[in-house]
Structure 1
Amino acid sequence: MILLLLSTTTYSQQQDVAFHLSSELLNGKTILKIKRDFYDPYLWVLAKNNEVYRINSLTKKIDDYSDKFAAYSSLQFIDIAGRSQDTVFIAANSANIVQYKNGSVRLLGPADGILGTVNSIGIDKNLYYQETYVGHCLIIGTSGGFCRYNMDNENAAQLLNNGSSKIYEATYRKEMYKDSFGTNPFAGNDTINYLPVDHENWAGGVYGEYLWEGGKSFGYNINTAYYISSDVQELGDVTDLTNLFWGNNKGMFQNSEKRSYSSGSAHGHYLNDITVNKITSIYGLVALGDNGSPGYPGNIKENLLVGTDVGLYFSSTVYNNYESNTWLATFLRQFSLFHYGELGNIRVNDICVNTSSTTMPICEDGVWLACDNGLYLIKPDYAPFWNGQQSYTISFENQANTVSKIELCAGSSVTAVASFLLDPTIAIQWYANGKELPGKSQNSLEINSSGDYYAVLYDPCGNTHLESNHLTVQVITAPVFTFNYPDKIQQCDNTPLTLQTTDNPGYTYRWYTNGVLNGNTTSSYTVTQTGKYKVEVSACTNSWVPSKEVEVDLVTLPVPQVTSDKAVYCAEDIAVLAESAPTDPSYTINWYRDGTLLTADKNLTTINETTAGSYTVVLASTISTCTQTSSALPLAFTPAPVFTFNYPNQLQYCIGTLLTLQVTGSANYQYRWYKDGTLNGITTTSLPITRNGAYKVEVSSCAGSWVASKEVQVAFVIVPVPAISTDKPAYCVGDNATLSLAETVDPDYTIQWYKDNVPVPNSTGQSSIVTNVPGSYTVTLAYSTPNTDGSTCSQSSAVQAITFNPPPTVSIEKIVNTTICDGQTINLKANYNGGTVQWSTGETTDQVSITQAGTYTATVTSTAGCQAAASTDIAFLPNPVFSVNDTTICTYKKQVVTLTAPAGFAQYDWNGQTGGQTYQVSQPQTVSLTVTDANGCQATQQIKVADRCPDIYIPNTFTPNGDGINDTWVIEGLDSDPTSTVKVFTRNGVQVFSSIGYGTPWNGEYKGKKLPAGAYYYIVTAKNGSQKFSGSLTVIY
C-alpha cells in the first residue's frame, strides 16, 4: 500500500518508483545500525544487546559475530562501520571503539587519540567512480571533536576540530558530519541555533553549511542529516544546487545550502511531529542519463529514503528538479513523500543502500532496513512509472527532441539516434511497427520507409528493460494539383481576383510574383497588383512542383468624390458641385442627377446647379468596361421661414414674475434672440425674461439667412420692502407708541397701515401713526400703475408687535441661618418677575453679600423700561470679649496647669472640644479656646503653655531591693530623647550598664545579677551629644 503523506510543506509530485520486499532476516530482533562494505558484498549489522552479525548480501548467509565481542559486554554498542568482510569497527557510548581485524579484537581509546565520548563512526568516503581507489580512514564523531583513524597502519586518530561532532552519513558516495567551524552567522534578531555541518564532494573538497535547531518549530537533538547535490558525480555548482535535510522528533526539515545562514529564508518541514531516525537516498536508472552534468539529467532518479518511528517513507525523485519557478524562488527541491505499506508502521532505526557497482554508472539495487522486529531488504522498481513518450530517449538527428513525426520525400532517409545522455553500457534494440529489427542494436538507425519506430533499453543495473518514446516516419509521393487559367487576365481593380489551386491538407504551397516569392503559403492567392503569378506545391520537404505562369493586368480607375461649396442652400442660392478626379484621356467624366445623364456636363470637373436632386459622377474606362462611381450627393434648397411673435410693444410685470417670450415656428428652423440690440446666445423658441430691456428674435430656415420679429420693451416693477421703526424698544401701560416708515417713500407708491390685518382708519398715505392699542402692525407700499395683466405690484413690511407691559414686582429676602454677629456676612436676594436688578451698592446680581449695617435697596427695571424698588435694614450683634493669660509647665516633674476662662458665656470649646470654664494641661502646647455668648456670637484666643523647668534631673541614689519603692534609677527628662546615652561604671572603670535612649531605667543588675551596694559612676549625654552629665551614684539595699 502506498500513502501520500500530507505535511507542513506540500508539493504535488508524481510517484516514480515502487519498492518490493525481497528478504526478511533476523526476525524478532531489534536492529539498531547497518553498514554495507564498499568493496565486497558484506553487510555488518548491530542489534540490541550488543549482538553483531555479518550478512552476505548475495547469498543472504548470516554469520553471528556476537561472541567475538563478548569481552566488552560492559560497554553499550551504539554504531557499526564495516570496511570489509574481515574488518569492522563498533562504537561504544564511551571513549572507546572496538576494532575487529582479521580475527583480532582491539579496544581503541584515549591513548589512540579519541577524545570525549564517541557518538558515531563511519568509513571515509572513497572516490566511487574510480574502482582502484580504496579509503583507509575510520572517521569518528565525539563530544570532543571530529577525527580520522588510519585503519591500515593503525596510527593514532587525528583530531580535526575541537568541538562536538557527529557522523551523519558515510558511504562510498556521501560523507556528512557535524563540525564547529563557526557560530550563528545571522546578525539579526534570531532565536535559532545554527548547527555547522560539512560535506565532501567527489574530489574531497569540504563545503560548510548550517542546520537549524530551536525556535518554535525546529526542535533539538538532530538524529540524522543528509544532503543532495547537483548530480551523481557532484560536478555541478555545489553551493547553489545543494539542499540539506535533517530529522528529529519534530519531523524532517529542508533548507538550501546557499541560504542556510538565515532561518528567515525558504525552508521545508515534512512529517510534522513524527520522529525521523535516518535520511538517505537511492539512485536509479543512472545509465539512462548524464551522471556528470547537472543540466541534462536524462532519466536518472534519486529518491529520498526516510526511516521514522512509524515506518519508511520515500520521495518522488529529487534529482535535478530545479528548473521550476518554485525552485528559482526558494532554491528548494520539490517532491512528494509516500509511505511504504508492506512493513506497516514498524519503526525504522537505520537505512543502508545496497550497491552492486560503485563505478560509473553506479548500480544501487536494493535498500536494507534496520527495524524493531528484524532486518529487511527491499528492491526498487521503476518500470511501472516509466513513460517512454515523455523521456525523449530517442530523437531524429539534427532535430529538437520534441519532434516525434517527420515526413520524407520518396527516395530520401532520416536517422533516429539514441540520446547522448545514455551510458555506453546500455544495450539497445530497435523496433519498427512493433517488430524487432534484427541486427539493429547500435545507437542510431537509418530510416527510409514509413512506420512507427522505437527502441528497447536494457538497464545494466537490474533485470529491467524500458521502452523508449516513439518516432513516426511517413514517406510522401509527388503532389497532384490543377491551375487552369488563361495566359493573360484583364481585371478591374475594384473586383477581387483570387487565383486558386487544389487544396490538400497534406501539401504545402508557395506563390511567386514576377518570379519572386511573395510569402503566401496557402492554396489560394488574391491579386492586388499587375504582374506575373505562379504557385509551387510540395507533398514532402524540399520537393516542389511549379504551375504555369499567368499574367494579370489590373485596370485602375480613381474613385471620384462629389462635393458642394456649401452645406445648406437657400431658395435663391446657386450650388457649385465639384468631383475629385482630374481629367484624363484613359476615362470620361459623366454627371448624373437622379440617375439621368447630364450630357452637357460631360468631362467637367465642376458644375453650377439650381435644381434639387441626387448627384453622382461615373468614371468610364476608355480601354475596358471598368467604371468607378462616386457616392451620391443630395442637393436641396430651403424656403424662407414662417413664424408668429404676437406681443404688445410694451410689457410691465412685478419683479420676480416668471415671464417667457415665445416664437412659434418649425422645429427645423434656427433661432437667435437679442436684448437691447445684442445677441444673448439663446437659440431656442422661448426666452425666459428676468431683466428690463428691448427684446426680439430672428428666425432662419437655412444657413446665413435670418428674418427678424418686432421689438418688445419689457419693464419689471421693483417695490421696496417697507420697514417699521418704533420710538422706543418697549412700552409700558400708559405709553403712546409712534410707528414710522424707516425710509422716505417715492410718490409713485401708495401707503396703507394695518393692525391685525385690518386697515388702520385715516392711515392711508401717512408715513407714521401714533397708537396706544396693542396689536400686530404692518405697512404696505403699492405701485400706482397697473401691470400688463391688470395686477398691482406691492410689498408689505414685517409684522411689528406692539405690547404695553405692566410694571415689574420686587421683594428682598434675607438668607441667614444663624445670629448675625460682627464680622459675619448676610446674603440678600432680590425676587422679581423679570427685567434687570440694581442694588444700592451698585451690584447687578440677584444676590449680594452684606458685611456692614445699613439700609439696602434693590431696583428692578423691566424690558419696557418700567421700574419697581424694595428696601430692608440690616443690623449686626457685637462679639464677646475675654482674655486668658499664657502660662508655663515643667513636664518631667509631671506638673498639671489649670487654665480658667471668664465666667458668663453660654459655651466653652477647648481645642475644639466642648468643656467647662477650666481646662487642665500636662504638656507644653498652644491651647485654642472659643467662647459663645447668649446671642450665639463667638470669639477665639490662643493660649501658650511653655516648658519652664530644668532639662534633666539625675538622682544620686536608688534602692533596688524589690520593695517597689525607688527600685530603679529613674532619670527625668530623657524619656522623649531617643538620642540620649547612659553608661554606668564601677570604681575600677568596669562598665556595668549601657543604654541608647532611656526607655527602661537601670535596675542595679549586671549580666542578670545584682551588683553589691556601693558607689558607682555615670556618664549621660542628651540632645545628640550637645549636653553631657557625669557624677557618682550610690546603690543601697
Structure 2
Amino acid sequence: MAIQLPNKFIGNYLYIAILLVMTSRGVASAYIQADSCQHPTPPVITGSAKDICRGESVTLTATGCSGTVIWSNGEAGSSIEVKPQQTTKYTAICRAQPGCISCFAEVWKITVNTPNAPILTSSATISCQTDAVTLAATNCSGTVHWSDHSIGTTWTGKLQQTATFQATCEQNNCLSNPSARVTVQIAAPATPIVSASQIEICARQSTQLTASGCLGTIRWSDGSEGSARIVTPDKTTTYRAVCQLGTCRSDSSEAVLIAVRRAEQKLELATTLRNGCPFQTADLSQAITAKNVSLSNYYQFRMGPSISSAPVQSPGAVLAGTYYVFGRDSAGCYTAPVAVNVTITPCAQAVPPCLSDPATVAIRLDSLDWAKGVVRLTAQLGGSANLPAWQSDGGGLFTTDGLTARYLLSETDRQRGKVLFTASTPDPDGSGPCSGASVQQTIAAPSRAAPSREIIGLGKKASEPIWLTEHNTNLIELTYQLVVSNLGANPLTTVQIADDLDAAFSATGALIQSVTVRADSGLVVNPNYSGRGADTTLLSAGNLAVGKQSRVWLTVRLDVSQANTLTFTNKATATGVDVNGVICRDRSTNGVEADPDQNGDPSDNDEPTQVTLHSLRPEESETVFIPEGFSPNGDGINDRFVIQHLPVDLTVQLEVYNKWGNLVYRSVNYKNDWDGTANQGINLSAAKGELPDGTYYYQIRLSDGRDYVRFMTLAR
C-alpha cells in the first residue's frame, strides 16, 4: 500500500515536511557554484523541552554555525520559538553562502502529548422537559471536562431547552481537542394528525393508517406503534393516536372511524348436518342450498365466528362440531357467519375418517433471497394431515418449523445452486389403514446455477495538501485518487462510489468551499455530487470488466481556519452489480491497492485515508506556492515539482542538494518539469538517474531578486 506523504514527514527525520516560505535578504550579486565552497559542519540543536502539551512553545537553539542557520520549518536564525500542534521533528543546516551548505543536523523531536478527544453518546436525541437525559463520554483515559464545566464520564440532567454538548479529555495535564458536538432537542409532543387511505372497507380488506406531526413515537389506541401501519379490522373500529417523547405524551388525536361493510345478501343454510354411513365424516358444502346461487363461488368455512378465525382444513370431510360459513359478494364483502352443527352417528363397518379424508400436503415458496441465503416455505395441509416435518438434501439449517419454515443456505447449497425440500405429515391413525402425506420440491437459485462470488475493491490515496488563496481566504486543496477494481470472475455493472465529505471535514469544523470530480472513460460522474447531506454518490454508473480497474479523482477545497483538528480521515464505498443481480461492495483502504495483503479479500483492508496539515494557516506573506514534496511514481498525481502562482514574466533558477550537501539537480530556467531524476553528481550513473526517496534541500532564485531556501520530500 502506498504511504501518504504526511505520515512519512512525521515518521522519519528524512521525511520532515513543515515547510514555510522564507525570503532571503541580501542575495549575492554573483552566482557562486555549490561545489566551490568548503562545506560547514552541521549545527548542534538543543531545545527547552521535548515533551509538551498542545499549544505550548519550545525554544530551539542551534550552535556551531558561523553562517546562517536555516531550520526545517523555513525559519532562519540561531534560535527560534516553535509551537507544534502535533509531534514534530526539527533539523537545520548551516549555510555559509548560497550553494554552500552543511549536512543536516541531528534531529530534535518534540512530542505533543494530545489526548484523544472523547466520543459522546446520548440516551436521547429528542426529549421532553420532564425527562432526564444522560450523556456518556468514552475514549478518554483521563478526566472528562464538559462544556458546562462539570467533570466526569457521564452527564445527567433535565433540560429546559435544546442544548449542544461538547467535552474534552485531560490527561497528564494536557487537554484534548473538543469532541464532536451532540445536540439534544427539547420539544413538547404535538398531537398527531391521523388519516386513513380508506375509511370504508369490506371485512378482511386492509387500509393504511398514517399519523404525522410527531417527533417521537406514535402509539395507537389498539396498542400498536409506528407512524404508518396497515390494519385489517373484521368489524367497524375507531382508531386514535398519541405522540410520546420519553415519558411525555400528547393529547389524543381526533378519531378515525374505519367502517367495515358486510354483504347485504343473507345466507340461507342448513344449520344441522349428519354423516351418512358408512362414513364417519360430514360434508359442509351440503349446508348450502340452491337459494344461495349468487354466492356459490364465494364461501369461506371457518372454525370460529370471525372471518379471521382459522379455516376449516377439509370442508368436505369434517368431524362432529360447530363450524361457520361465510358468503362473499362480488364487491368482496363477507356476509355474517352462519353456524352449522355437525352430528356424527356411529356406523357398523364404518370407513375410518382418515380414509374418507386422506392427508395431503403441498409446498409453497414464500420468498427466496439467494444473496442473503434465506428461503421461506409454507406447507399447505389438507384432509387429516397434521403439522409437517421438514427436511432438505443440503447442509443448511431450519431456524423455524411447523406450517412455515425458514431455511438458511449452506455453502454446499450455494455451490450446487439448488436445494430439495421435503415436507412430511405423520400417520393420522398409527397402525390403522391410513397414512401420512409427503411432498418434495426443488428450489433453485434465480439463475438456475449457483452464483459465483463477485468481488469489488476500492483504494483511496490522498495527494499532498496545497495551500491556495481565494478571495482573501486561505484554502487547502486536497486531491484524492480512488481506484476501483473488479477482483471477481464476472463483469460488474452499475459501479458506484460514495464519499461522505461532511463526515470527514464538516464534522471537524472545516468548511467545504468546492468539490470537483473527474473519472476514467466508462465511468459516469454524478454532476450533482457535493459530498454533503444526502448527496454523497460521486460516481453514479459504470462498468468494470474482469481484472480491470478504473480511476476517479476527487478534488476538495477547504477553509480550515475554524477546524478543531489538523488531521482529517475518511473512507469511500464502492458497489457493483454482478451477473446475478447481486450487489457487492467494499470500503476503501489507504493507497491505490484495494487488496494490499493480496489475500483475495479486499473487505479485510479498510484503513482510512488520512491527511495531516502542519499548520492551520500558511504565512500571510505567501505569494508564491512551493510544494513541500512530490511523488514521481507515474500515478498522474503530483508527479512533477510544480511551483505555483509565479508571475508570467519571471524566470526561475532551481538547485537541489541531498542531505550530504551534494548538488543533484540544477536548472537555470526551470519550467516545472523536474520528475525526481538527477542531472548533476554521482547519481547520474544510477538507472534512469532516479533519485532515492528522502528529504532534500533546495534553493530557488527568481529573476525579480527573491530567494527561497527550503527542504522538500521526494516520495515515490
TM range (shorter): under 0.3
TM-score normalised by length of structure 1:
0.17
TM-score normalised by length of structure 2:
0.24
Select the structure that is richer in strand. Answer: 1
